[in-house]
Amino acid sequence: MRKLIRGGTVVTASDTYQADLLIEGEKIVAIGKDIDANGAEIIDVGGCYVFPGGIDPHTHLDMPFGGTVTADDFETGTRAAAFGGTTSIIDFCLSNKGQSLREAIAIWHEKARGKAAIDYGFHLMIAEANDQVLEELEYVVAEEGIVSLKVFMAYKNVLQADDETLFKTLIRAKELGALVQVHAENGDVIDYLTKRALAKGQTEPIYHALTRPPEAEGEATGRAAALTALADSQLYVVHVSCAQAVQQIAEAREKGWQVYGETCPQYLTLDVSYLDKPDFEGAKYVWSPPLREKWHQEVLWNALRSGILQTVGSDQCSFNFKGQKELGKGDFTKIPNGGPIIEDRFSVIYSEGVHKGRISLNQFVDVIATKAAKLFGMFPRKGTIAIGSDADLVIFDPEATRMLSAASHHMNVDYNPFEGMKVHGEVISVFLRGEYVIRDKQFVGRPGAGQFIKRMRFSRP
Ligand code: URP
Ligand code: ZN
Ligand code: ZN
Ligand code: ZN
């Protein structure tokens, strides 16, 4: 029942220090030097960092997209996340025009129930801000504890909403204490560029990137920020990929607007040249927004370091190369968008960020866990190591090195976008609310052990 995590280096978003942690039930109950075991199970973690469990604020598990469904569901996706040091995710619950929000949410609860091995919450997509939806949002926030609402500015004729919906959602979110999220790309412009490319016979994966220029992301980001200011509301821009969007977020924040941003490991480490790989392999690297020219990466790292961007999400959205990505052979618009990142988010950001000196150890914890907990209403229960917090912990060996590969990953998908990348640091054990999920690199968790997190209303971090 009680566990003593002994001899590690505790790392939070603000501090790094040697201490033991006493866990009782699901909570951390004591932190200090040389805590008396007093019958508790002793877990020696000398030489390791003790991090708060990673929080991945952006996943798509068991999600239909482009005529197929993601390769990872809540069972395989959350198990892989746990291997990688993530103990909570927030998944995107889709909805359709005309559908009641209760029904959309019930479908997503069904996807996760009995399957999730780690804790999870939902963001809710708003397809159309009609009177019924705006009314129902009160229930969504107050009863479901779903306090983040997603509006797509891209994927025309599929997921895209118009500016009226975005603006009404921003106003309602302000009233209810919710955070509005946008996929910021100008879907109308992209739709036109896409049709023009196809008409010219430009069908290869690289044209996915060339028809979604960074200006289309910068424009949508700036527009969303301006509407947020007009509504006196709060905005979180998901998967920021380029300098143009960073610039818009930086300017908005300088004006005092409540605009936050997330980037992803793929934008920080991979670039547009991957889409040119032969034998259709470029399809593995199709995300929206697309991978950019390499110079954008330094802008993104700087934005994380300086606090212009606050979080790193995986945007986990996995499709097999065989049979799924291949749907787009001969027409890049039919390549399902997204990739498998949920497992490697934590390690890639530690290795490329901390080990390479781009962000500090404490900034790492902030972007991988703490800021997401604060922005999405889970702090201090989650996202930090403190007395009274959930004992969601990652025991991490900073000296180990390993190679990322589809041959060794745990995601239910036939490739890894980071194939062959050497990373410094390794997750050894992971605790979820005081119980081992990963023990000495072995999964000992259980599908269904993860609980739905009802979150608190937005408050400015
Ligand atoms: O390419 C991506 N990002 N796929 C997932 C859906 C989304 O837009 O987040
Ligand atoms: Zn998106
Ligand atoms: Zn996404
Ligand atoms: Zn090292």
Burial pattern 390-401, b for ≥16 Cβ within 10 A else e, equals: bbbbbbbbbeee
- Decide if 372 contacts 181 (C-beta within 8 A): no
Q: Which of 123, 239, 266 to mutate to test the pocket of ligand 1 (most atoms within 8 A of CB)?
A: 239
Tokens read off for 68: 């197929």
Write out the chain's pLDDT in tens, 461 residues. Answer: 899 999 999 999 999 999 999 999 999 999 999 999 999 999 999 999 999 999 999 999 999 998 999 999 999 999 999 999 999 999 999 999 999 999 999 999 999 999 999 999 999 999 999 999 999 999 999 999 999 999 999 999 999 999 999 999 999 999 999 999 999 999 999 999 999 999 999 999 999 999 999 999 999 999 999 999 999 999 999 999 999 999 999 999 999 999 999 999 999 999 999 999 999 999 999 999 999 999 999 999 999 999 999 999 999 999 999 999 999 999 999 999 999 999 999 999 999 999 999 999 999 999 999 999 999 999 999 999 999 999 999 999 999 999 999 999 999 999 999 999 999 999 999 999 999 999 999 999 999 999 999 999 999 99
Among candidates 372, 452, 454, which has minimal Cα distance to 112? Answer: 452
Q: Within a 10 A sphere around the Cβ of 232, how many other Cβ atoms?
A: 11
The pair phi, psi for residue 393, each rounded to 5°, is: -135, 150
Q: Which class for 23: exposed (0-12), middle (13-18), buried (19 or more C-beta within 10 A)?
A: buried
2-51+389-400+420-443, superfamily in CATH? Urease, subunit C, domain 1 (2.30.40.10)
Longest distance between any two alpha carbons in the chain, whole Å: 74
Cβ within 8 Å of residue 313, ≥6 positions away: 56, 57, 58, 59, 238, 239, 262, 263, 264, 345, 372
| Residue range 374-430, pLDDT digits in tens | 999 999 999 999 999 999 999 999 999 999 999 999 999 999 999 999 999 999 999
The angle formed by the CA atoms of residues 168, 173 and 176, to the nearest 5 degrees, is: 130
**Domain 53-375 indexed as CATH 3.20.20.140:** yes
Amino acid at site 313 = G
- Nearest-Å Rg of the Cα atoms of the chain is 21
176 within 8 A of 240, measured Cβ to Cβ: no
ipTM: 0.95
Question: From CA 3, how far away is CA 37, in angstroms rounded?
Answer: 8
CA–centroid distance, 297 to ligand 3, in Å, is: 19
Which residue CA neighbors atom 9 of ligand 1 most closely? 315
Contacts of 216 (CB under 8 A, 6+ apart): 185, 186, 189, 190
Q: What is the pLDDT of residue 93?
A: 98
Atom of ligand 1 nearest to the CA of 288: 1
Q: What is the distance between the alpha carbons of residues 373 and 56, in angstroms, rounded to a whole number? A: 10
Q: Is 78 exposed, middle or buried (0-12, 13-18, 19+ CB in 10 A)?
A: buried
Output the six-digit token pair for 378. Answer: 């889970």
What is the C-alpha to C-alpha distance for residues 418 and 431, in angstroms, rounded to an integer?
26
Give the ligand 1 atom nearest the CA of 286. 1
Atom of ligand 1 nearest to the CA of 92: 9
Atom of ligand 1 nearest to the CA of 155: 8
> Which ligand lies nearest to the CA atom of residue 356 in the structure?
4
Q: Rounded to the nearest whole angstrom, what is the distance from the C-alpha of residue 287 to the centroid of ligand 1?
A: 6
E strand or H helix at 59: strand 54-59
The answer to whether the beta carbons of residues 252 and 229 sit under 8 Å apart is: yes
CA–centroid distance, 10 to ligand 3, in Å, is 31
Give residue 361 CA to ligand 4 midpoint distance, Å: 13
User: Which ligand has the shortest distance to the CA of 183?
Assistant: 2
Distance (angstroms) between ligand 1 centre and the Cα of 23 equals 38
Beta-bridge partners for 42: 4
CB 249 within 8 A of CB 188: no
Q: How far is the CA of 432 from the centre of ligand 2 (A)?
A: 28
Q: What is the pLDDT of residue 1?
A: 82
Closest CA to 184 of 128, 230, 240: 240
- Ligand 1 binding residues, C-beta < 6 A: 60, 183, 239, 287-288, 315, 317, 337-338
> Could you please report the per-residue DSSP string of 75-121?
HHHHHHHHHTTEEEEEEEE---TT--HHHHHHHHHHHHTTT-SSEEE
CB 241 within 8 A of CB 214: yes
Domain ranges of the chain: 2-51+389-400+420-443, 53-375
